[in-house]
C-alpha cells in the first residue's frame, strides 16, 4: 500500500482555526480522514504523546506517524498527495511569496491576537488588539488587491492559511463593536468567495456557533 493510502487521523478541536486549515487542505486533495475531537482542558494521552513539545491541536497522524503545526501539515499534505493540484505555484519566486504571506498571516491574524479583542471588555487593551488586527488585515487586503484569491485565479496556500479566521470575524466584531466589512470589504468578499468552495464550507463552523464558544471562553477567563 502506498504511503498516500495509509490511514489519516486528525486530532482536532472544532473551533480551532488551525485545525480548520488542515481539514481544508485534506478536503482539497480529496483525502479521506477521521477526526478525533479533543477536550483542550483534559487532553488525551494520544495528543500529549503525538505532540509532546506544544501539546496542541491539530496533530495529523498519517500511517501512525504524527505531524504537528498546521502550516507544516498543509505543506506535508501538498507534498504527499500529489495527484491533485499543488497549493503552491510552480515558480520559485511565487512560491516564496506565498510562503511569506502565509507566515505574515500566521504571525498577525492569530488566536492569541484575537483574544486581545474577545478576552477584554472594552478598554485600552481591546482597542490595541482591534488596531493590530485591522491594520494587519489591511496589509493582507492590499496584497489581495482585485484578485479572486491570494494566488490569483487559483485557491491556494495563503487562502488556506487565512480563511479559517473568517469564521471568527463575527465573534471579534460582536466583542469589539466594529465591522470588518466596513474596514476591509475586499477581505470579506474574498472570505465569502472561499466559503463557496466545498472544502471550506465543510471545514468552517457557523459564525454564530463560534460566537457561543467565545462566550463560554469569556466566562472561563472571567471577562465580564
Q: What is the CATH number of the domain that holds 70?
A: 3.40.30.10
- Evaluate whether residue 85 is within a structural domain: no
Instruction: Give the chain's domain count.
Output: 2
What does the pLDDT look like over 85-118, one tens digit per residue? 999 999 999 999 999 999 999 999 988 888 899 9
pLDDT band per the 50, 70, 90 thresholds, residue 38? very high
**Threshold 0.85, pTM exceeds:** yes
Q: What is the CATH number of the domain that holds 96?
A: 1.20.1050.10
- Evaluate whether residue 86 is within a structural domain: no
- Evaluate whether residue 87 is within a structural domain: no
Residues 203-207: contacts with CB under 8 Å, at least 24 apart: 203/20, 203/23, 203/24, 203/27, 203/164, 204/20, 204/163, 204/164, 204/166, 204/167, 205/14, 205/15, 205/167, 206/167, 207/167, 207/168, 207/169, 207/170, 207/171
- 33, 57, 80 — which closes off a domain? 80
The gap from C-alpha 10 to its chain's centroid, in whole angstroms, comes to 14
Q: Is the pLDDT of residue 121 over 80?
A: no
Amino acid at each position: 500500500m502506498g504511503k498516500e493510502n495509509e490511514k489519516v487521523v486528525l486530532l482536532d478541536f472544532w473551533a480551532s482555526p488551525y485545525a480548520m486549515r488542515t481539514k481544508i487542505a485534506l478536503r482539497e486533495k480529496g483525502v479521506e480522514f477521521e477526526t478525533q475531537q479533543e477536550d483542550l482542558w483534559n487532553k488525551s494521552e494520544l495528543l500529549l504523546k503525538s505532540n509532546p513539545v506544544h501539546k496542541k491541536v491539530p496533530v495529523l497522524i498519517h500511517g501512525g506517524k504524527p505531524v504537528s503545526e498546521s502550516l507544516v501539515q498543509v505543506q506535508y499534505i501538498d507534498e504527499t498527495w500529489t495527484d491533485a493540484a499543488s497549493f503552491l505555484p510552480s515558480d520559485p519566486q511565487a512560491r516564496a511569496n506565498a510562503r511569506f504571506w502565509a507566515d505574515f498571516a500566521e504571525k498577525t491574524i492569530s488566536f492569541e491576537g484575537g483574544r486581545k479583542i474577545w478576552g477584554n471588555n472594552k478598554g485600552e487593551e481591546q482597542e490595541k488588539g482591534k488596531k493590530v488586527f485591522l491594520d494587519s488585515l489591511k496589509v493582507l487586503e492590499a496584497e489581495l488587491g482585485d484578485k479572486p484569491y491570494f494566488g490569483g485565479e487559483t485557491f491556494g496556500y495563503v487562502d488556506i492559511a487565512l480563511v479559517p479566521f473568517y469564521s471568527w470575524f463575527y465573534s471579534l466584531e460582536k466583542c469589539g463593536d466594529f465591522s470588518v466589512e466596513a474596514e476591509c470589504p475586499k477581505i470579506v468578499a474574498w472570505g465569502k468567495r472561499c466559503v463557496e468552495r466545498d472544502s471550506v464550507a465543510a471545514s468552517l463552523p457557523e459564525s454564530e456557533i463560534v460566537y457561543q464558544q467565545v462566550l463560554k471562553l469569556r466566562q472561563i477567563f472571567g471577562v465580564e
